[in-house]
Chains A and B, each alone.
Chain A
Amino acid sequence: MTPELGHFALALALALALAQTFFGLMGGWKGRVRWMDAAHSAVMGQTVFVVIAFSLLSRAFMTNDFSVAYVANNSNSALPALFKFSALWGAHEGSLVLWIFILALWSLAVSLFSKSLPETFRARVVGILGLVSVGFLAFTLGTSNPFLRLLPAAPDGADLNPLLQDFALAVHPPMLYAGYVGTAVAFAFACSAMFEGRLDATWARWTRPWTTVAWLFLTVGIALGSWWAYYELGWGGWWFWDPVENASFMPWLVCTALIHSLAVTEKRGLFKSWTLLLAILAFSLSLLGTFLVRSGVLVSVHSFASDPSRGIFILGLLTFFIIGSLVLFAWRAPLLQSTAGFGLFSREAFLLLNNVLLVVSAALILLGTLWPLFMDAFSLGKISVGPPYFNAVFLVPGLPLVVAIGIGMHATWKQSRLAPKAVVFAVIATIAAVLALGFMVWLSHYTLLAAIGFMAGVFVIGSSLYEPWQRWRGGHSLPAAVLGMALAHIGVGMFTIGVTGVESSKIERDVALGVGDSTEVAGYVFKLESLKAVQGPNYNATEGEVTVRHDGDLVATLHPQKRNYWVRTMPMTEAGISVGPGRDLFAALGEDLGGGRWSVRVQYKPLIRYIWLGALVMALGGLLATADRRYRRRRPEEVAVASNSAPAEG
């Protein structure tokens, strides 16, 4: 009975989402207080029913209710409890429930925590979020009901794909979705501003914390996915330019551009239409990502054509939101004139550069991601776009961007006044050059690209430290926004150093090893000491013991496993990894080659941890920035745009 209740709860949530949309948008338009209040009550009600549906589905998983088809397909009684819980979003239907659940939480948060905003504006935001809810609830109920019964019930479940039975993958989707769905909030703020015909510094100040929080979830979500791919799936790679990965990275790039463009809109009242466009774009790319991943179009455009209902629905949703918001934009944007000018080396100019580079990169990644689909759809041959293309379109705009961050942070608003800082830049650049040389000597790797990469990374970190250090030394206040920005940019520097280290000096080698054999990689001697059989909760495994010695000293003992999961009879590789501040040592078992020998992949990955650490620090910076006092002022007086505010508040 409970699954039917869950289905019913989703239907009620849809009804309430419709009410939320109507009362939010109409109430905001007509200015009717009672309608607007009704919209907020509808948010509350919608959230309650979505939470009920989510809990009931979760309950079906936890209690092994294999009469529910979705549970039977994605769980098993032998599955550990944590993975029974996370199996909820292990496949299509459940991940939609997760989407809806997170959207409901975001909507509730906006409804509760934005009481300082004007009533009509807030009602419209809630109305537009309601519209998104309606789309996804209707999609789920119409094409992907997770509560569908299986009659007769399966005796046991088909199990969760072993690749997904992992901690990082239990947390990755919720984080990523929190980011995806968060772009809907920025989108709703943008649409609301267009409806109201009002877009000023105050608007930007309201929008910024929400956008930053969405961005930081996206950042953490992507980093978790990359980390998981590294140790579980990728045989030691951290990014594959897989369409699914690109689908999450493109919204991130645009969202990053958006939070910077919002800074200009808040501080200087410029880039208004551009900011709106970015908000629309970020949300559209999030929807596109959902479409790409969920429609089956990536498996094959033809598989899309053979089972089109889901794909068509999301495509329709995508078209509706993109066209709708662009029409709104074309109609309203001309109202938003901004007249102020700015210097060639002003902060505005640097942020413009930031935006251009990020958006160009996102556009080229989009091209590479969609091109094979177009070729295939028009029967022009089956192609794939190789990683070197994506590396190029990421690196070419990316490296100048990193350098520009280091300089641009010290630019002042409005006017070009960088000259007095020339000495500071020279000093930081010299330190960066020395440290870059140090990195290269340590890795004994000397190429121009590595030199530029290390230097750019250190330069950004040094440059980010300078401003807080100056303020601290001068006894000035250190607002959270300044610290947050510095921290996020230090994260960028760490990421840059990590990528440069791994991509310049990694070593990956496949070897055949018998027990007692060893192989040397970058001065590390990997020796296969033993192989033994072990048993896990729902798998058998062969476990190797690999010792790693450097100059005769034991530095690590690795325990790579080759698992065989019972239910899906699917082999899985669990790598043995030794984590260090300077390098990862990695060993993975391939297969039994006969004659007592196994194929083994051994790897040396210098500085790889800084890729994910950098991403975490970026997210932490974002979190700190949202804690800035000025976002929490209640009913702020309409302050005139402070054109000469302190340079580093951004």
Chain B
Amino acid sequence: MAMTPRRKRLVLFGSVLVGVAIAAGIATLAFRDNLQYFYNPSEVAAGKVPSGKRFRVGGMVPKGSIHRETGSLTVNFEVTDFEHTVKISYSGVLPDLFREGQGIIAHGKLDTQGVFVADEVLAKHDEKYMPPEVRDSLKKTHSPETSAAAAGASKS
């Protein structure tokens, strides 16, 4: 089948266009399913989180809130924005910088008792680091801790 250069070019650009369209379609689908929203404890308490949905919650871990049965991998703790707190349950290895007074973010879902069951807990890089969402949400509640929560830059 002899093709004129013009037709060839049309076919070529057509196939490129189709390829880009397919990629864009897949991307849109993947994008929609993988957006995770962040809620602070007050928003969780106010019932703003759609039920059954995965989301991220974050705040400061208050003093004395970390409980662990001796020798067990499961740990229960709370995060607070100084107005409301959310109970979190997590089973696994915690990050190095997880401790009381630290800002953290947890990924997971609420169970029926209103406990946030986390499958991932993040506390990042730097001992002075405060996750941005947590920092902004703490700022809104005008807590005195905010000034101490100067964000450390992330590594290059």
Given the complex, which residues of B lie within 8 Å of A568, measured CB to CB?
A: 127
Question: In the docked arrangement, what's the CA distance between A596 and B98, Å?
Answer: 20
Question: In the docked arrangement, what's the CA distance between A299 and B133, Å?
Answer: 9
Given the complex, which residues of A lie within 8 Å of B19, measured CB to CB?
A: 353, 356-357, 360
Known: A299-B153, A360-B20, A590-B94. A383 touches B35 (CB 8 A): yes
Given the complex, which residues of B lie within 8 Å of A303, measured CB to CB?
A: 132, 135, 151
Chain A nearest CB: distance from B66 CB in Å? 11
Q: Is B96 a contact of A573 with CB atoms below 8 Å?
A: yes
Given the complex, which residues of A lie within 8 Å of B125, measured CB to CB?
A: 161, 163, 233
Q: Is B37 a contact of A510 with CB atoms below 8 Å?
A: no
Is residue B82 contacting chain A, with contact meaning CB distance below 8 A? no
Known: A92-B153, A382-B38, A383-B38. A352 touches B16 (CB 8 A): yes
- Give the dominant DSSP class at A's interface: mixed
Number of interface residues of B (CB under 8 A): 47
Q: Is A385 a contact of B35 with CB atoms below 8 Å?
A: yes
Is residue A349 contacting chain B, with contact meaning CB distance below 8 A? yes
Is residue A512 contacting chain B, with contact meaning CB distance below 8 A? yes
Q: Is B37 a contact of A381 with CB atoms below 8 Å?
A: yes
Is residue A570 contacting chain B, with contact meaning CB distance below 8 A? yes
Q: Is B5 a contact of A296 with CB atoms below 8 Å?
A: no
Known: A91-B153, A244-B156, A593-B73. A388 touches B127 (CB 8 A): no
Task: Please tell me which one of the listed residues A89, A173, A300 contacts residue B151 in the complex, with CB atoms under 8 A apart.
Answer: A300
Complex interface residues of chain A between 342 and 367 (CB less than 8 A to chain B) = 343-344, 349, 352-353, 356-357, 360-361, 364, 367
Chain A nearest CB: distance from B53 CB in Å? 13
Digit string of A89-112 for contact with B (CB within 8 Å is 1, else 0)?
101100100000000000000000
Task: Please tell me which one of the listed residues A360, A514, A569, A595 contacts residue B23 in the complex, with CB atoms under 8 A apart.
Answer: A360
Given the complex, which residues of B lie within 8 Å of A368, measured CB to CB?
A: 31
- Give the dominant DSSP class at B's interface: mixed
Task: Indicate the member of B27, B56, B136, B153 with the most A CB atoms within 10 Å.
Answer: B27
Q: Is B20 a contact of A596 with CB atoms below 8 Å?
A: no
Task: Please tell me which one of the listed residues B27, B96, B153 contacts residue A367 in the complex, with CB atoms under 8 A apart.
Answer: B27
Known: A569-B127, A588-B93. A392 touches B71 (CB 8 A): no
Q: Is A344 a contact of B38 with CB atoms below 8 Å?
A: no
Is residue B143 contacting chain A, with contact meaning CB distance below 8 A? no
Q: Is A343 a contact of B8 with CB atoms below 8 Å?
A: yes
Residue on A with the closest CB to B32? Answer: A389
Q: Is B71 a contact of A384 with CB atoms below 8 Å?
A: no
Digit string of A274-308 for contact with B (CB within 8 Å is 1, else 0)?
00000000000000000001101011101100000
Chain A nearest CB: distance from B67 CB in Å? 11
Q: Is A396 a contact of B26 with CB atoms below 8 Å?
A: yes
Digit string of A107-123 for contact with B (CB within 8 Å is 1, else 0)?
00000000000000000
Task: Indicate the member of B11, B22, B36 with the most A CB atoms within 10 Å.
Answer: B36
Complex interface residues of chain A between 504 and 524 (CB less than 8 A to chain B) = 510-512, 514
Residue on A with the closest CB to B151? Answer: A299
Question: In the docked arrangement, what's the CA distance between A361 and B24, Å?
Answer: 10
Is residue A597 contacting chain B, with contact meaning CB distance below 8 A? yes
Is residue A196 contacting chain B, with contact meaning CB distance below 8 A? no
Q: Is B11 a contact of A344 with CB atoms below 8 Å?
A: yes
Is residue A38 contacting chain B, with contact meaning CB distance below 8 A? no
Is residue B51 contacting chain A, with contact meaning CB distance below 8 A? no
Question: In the docked arrangement, what's the CA distance between A510 and B29, Å?
Answer: 32
Digit string of B93-125 for contact with A (CB within 8 Å is 1, else 0)?
110110000000000000000000000000001
Chain B nearest CB: distance from A177 CB in Å? 9
Task: Please tell me which one of the listed residues A393, A571, A594 contacts residue B27 in the complex, with CB atoms under 8 A apart.
Answer: A393
Known: A344-B11, A397-B23. A235 touches B93 (CB 8 A): yes
Q: Is B27 a contact of A163 with CB atoms below 8 Å?
A: no
Residue on B with the closest CB to A297? Answer: B132
Given the complex, which residues of A lie within 8 Å of B91, measured CB to CB?
A: 510
Residue on A with the closest CB to B33? Answer: A388
Is residue B9 contacting chain A, with contact meaning CB distance below 8 A? yes
Digit string of B16-59 for contact with A (CB within 8 Å is 1, else 0)?
10011011101101110111111000000000000000001000
Complex interface residues of chain A between 570 and 587 (CB less than 8 A to chain B) = 570-573
Given the complex, which residues of B lie within 8 Å of A417, measured CB to CB?
A: none
Is residue B72 contacting chain A, with contact meaning CB distance below 8 A? yes
Q: Is B73 a contact of A299 with CB atoms below 8 Å?
A: no
Chain A nearest CB: distance from B73 CB in Å? 5
Chain A nearest CB: distance from B5 CB in Å? 4
Complex interface residues of chain A between 168 and 185 (CB less than 8 A to chain B) = 173
Given the complex, which residues of A lie within 8 Å of B35, measured CB to CB?
A: 383-386
Chain A nearest CB: distance from B142 CB in Å? 15
Complex interface residues of chain A between 377 and 401 (CB less than 8 A to chain B) = 381-389, 392-393, 396-397
Given the complex, which residues of A lie within 8 Å of B156, measured CB to CB?
A: 89, 95, 173, 244, 293-294
Given the complex, which residues of A lie within 8 Å of B3, measured CB to CB?
A: 344
Given the complex, which residues of A lie within 8 Å of B93, measured CB to CB?
A: 235, 510, 588, 590-591, 599-601
Known: A385-B35, A396-B26, A570-B96. A244 touches B71 (CB 8 A): no
Given the complex, which residues of B lie within 8 Å of A349, measured CB to CB?
A: 12
Chain B nearest CB: distance from A356 CB in Å? 5
Residue on A with the closest CB to B71? Answer: A595
Question: In the docked arrangement, what's the CA distance between A357 and B5, Å?
Answer: 23
Question: In the docked arrangement, what's the CA distance between A393 and B91, Å?
Answer: 31
Complex interface residues of chain A between 157 and 216 (CB less than 8 A to chain B) = 161, 163-164, 173
Question: In the docked arrangement, what's the CA distance between A599 and B91, Å?
Answer: 10
Task: Please tell me which one of the listed residues B9, B31, B136 contacts residue A300 in the complex, with CB atoms under 8 A apart.
Answer: B136
Is residue A341 contacting chain B, with contact meaning CB distance below 8 A? yes
Residue on B with the closest CB to A169? Answer: B155
Question: In the docked arrangement, what's the CA distance between A302 and B24, Å?
Answer: 30
Given the complex, which residues of A lie within 8 Å of B133, measured CB to CB?
A: 300, 382
Given the complex, which residues of A lie within 8 Å of B127, measured CB to CB?
A: 568-570
Known: A341-B5, A593-B70. A389 touches B94 (CB 8 A): no
Given the complex, which residues of B lie within 8 Å of A361, measured CB to CB?
A: 23
Complex interface residues of chain B between 54 and 82 (CB less than 8 A to chain A) = 56, 68, 70-73
Task: Indicate the member of B19, B33, B91 with the most A CB atoms within 10 Å.
Answer: B19
Give me 18 A-to-B residue pairs in the complex whose CB atoms sit less than 8 angstroms apart, sorted by A's number.
Answer: A91-B153, A163-B155, A293-B156, A344-B12, A352-B16, A360-B19, A361-B23, A364-B23, A382-B38, A382-B133, A385-B36, A389-B34, A393-B27, A510-B93, A511-B73, A570-B97, A588-B93, A593-B68
The 3 closest A-B pairs by CB, nearest first: A300-B132, A595-B71, A590-B93
